[in-house]
Homo-oligomer: A and B are copies of this chain.
Amino acid sequence: MQKIHNLSKNQKIIFDLIDKSAEPMKAYAILFNVQKKGIKAPLQVYRALDKLVEIGKIHKIESRNAFIACQNSSCQISKATAFSICESCENISEISNSKLSKYLSNFSDNSGMKYSKYNLEFFGLCKKCKSK
In the complex, A100 Cα to B100 Cα: how many Å? 11
Given the interface pairs A62-B62, A100-B107, A107-B100, the reply to whether A124 lies near B115 with Cβ below 8 Å is yes
Of B103, B109, B113, which one neighbours A103 at CB under 8 angstroms? Answer: B103
- List residues of A (84-122) whose CB comes within 8 Å of B's CBs: 84, 86-87, 93, 95, 97, 100, 103-104, 107, 109, 111-122
Instruction: Tell me which residues across on chain B come within 8 A of A111, comparing CB atoms.
Output: 84, 93, 95, 126-127
Copies of this chain per assembly: 2
Docked-complex contact A84 and B113, CB < 8 angstroms: yes
Given the interface pairs A109-B97, A114-B125, A127-B113, the reply to whether A119 lies near B84 with Cβ below 8 Å is no
Classify chain A's interface size.
20 to 34
Docked-complex contact B120 and A124, CB < 8 angstroms: no
In the complex, A97 Cα to B107 Cα: how many Å? 10
In the complex, which residue of chain B has the Cβ closest to the Cβ of A61? B62
In the complex, A63 Cα to B113 Cα: how many Å? 18
* A130 sits at the interface (CB 8 A): yes
Docked-complex contact B126 and A112, CB < 8 angstroms: yes
List residues of chain A with CB under 8 Å of any chain B CB: 62-63, 84, 86-87, 93, 95, 97, 100, 103-104, 107, 109, 111-127, 130
